[in-house]
């Protein structure tokens, strides 16, 4: 009898734990408004990464969702909160089209439900996208091609049986990662300006 009672308790706790986990529908297709699409900026990789103004697509881009509990208003504070991240999503099963004209619904995706966010409540989230073709481009942090991320936004994360809420965020652009030499030149320029001001 004790074993049966223990088994039932463990099963109930397991169900309660699963039941209490929040989830969100990760997509940007709820409006099909071009302002909500992820597009390529004027600073781009050329035709390989898509042309200026085109929407990104599943043939060469990935998207990912990041989140942290509570309402966070600045990027530095968000990073300091050690946000969690979903898997990377790509391909024709996620994106509505390949990289191309917004009229084909390029720039829009539906990655389905991201589960195990945490306890239901308010979360600050951010979508990020990057060019994923070639060595070293498996994730946002190491990507050498076009990258970009949305503004921070909040979502009320729910658990079943409450209906799942969708991520709604303004569109953003991806652009080429500056070369290290660009950073070096910028640093030298800043140092020269400081030296010049000091001499005055």
The tens digit of pLDDT for each residue in 18-71 reads 457 999 999 999 888 999 999 999 877 878 899 999 999 999 999 999 999 999
**Measured between alpha carbons, how far is 24 from 116 in angstroms, rounded to an integer?**
9
CA 168 from chain centre, in angstroms, equals: 12
Token pair, residue 22, equals 């929040």
Select from 172, 69, 47, 58 the least CA-distant residue to 117: 69
Give 199's pLDDT tier (boundaries 50, 70, 90): low
Strand partners of residue 63: 89, 129
**Measured between alpha carbons, how far is 186 from 177 in angstroms, rounded to an integer?**
14
Q: Using one digit for the tens of pLDDT, what is the confidence trace for 91-142?
A: 999 999 999 999 999 999 999 999 999 999 999 999 999 999 998 899 999 9
Evaluate if residue 170 carries a pLDDT over 70: yes
**Measured between alpha carbons, how far is 104 from 114 in angstroms, rounded to an integer?**
26
């Amino acid at each position: 009898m004790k074993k049966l009672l223990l088994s039932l308790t463990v099963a109930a706790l397991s169900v309660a734990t699963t039941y209490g986990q929040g989830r969100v529908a990760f997509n940007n297709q709820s409006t099909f408004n071009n302002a909500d699409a992820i597009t390529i900026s004027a600073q781009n990789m050329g035709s390989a990464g898509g042309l200026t103004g085109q929407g990104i697509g599943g043939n060469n881009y990935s998207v990912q969702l990041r989140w942290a509990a509570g309402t966070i208003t600045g990027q530095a504070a968000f990073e300091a909160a050690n946000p969690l991240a979903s898997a990377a999503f790509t391909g024709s099963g996620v994106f509505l089209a390949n990289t191309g004209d917004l009229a084909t619904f390029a720039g829009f995706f539906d990655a389905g439900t991201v589960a195990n966010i945490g306890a239901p409540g308010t979360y600050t989230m951010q979508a990020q996208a990057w060019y994923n073709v070639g060595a070293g481009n498996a994730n946002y942090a190491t990507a050498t091609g076009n990258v970009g991320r949305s503004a921070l936004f909040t979502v009320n994360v729910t658990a079943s049986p409450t209906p799942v809420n969708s991520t709604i965020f303004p569109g953003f652009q991806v652009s080429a990662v500056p070369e290290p030499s660009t950073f070096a030149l910028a640093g030298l320029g800043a140092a020269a300006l400081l030296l010049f001001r000091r001499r005055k």
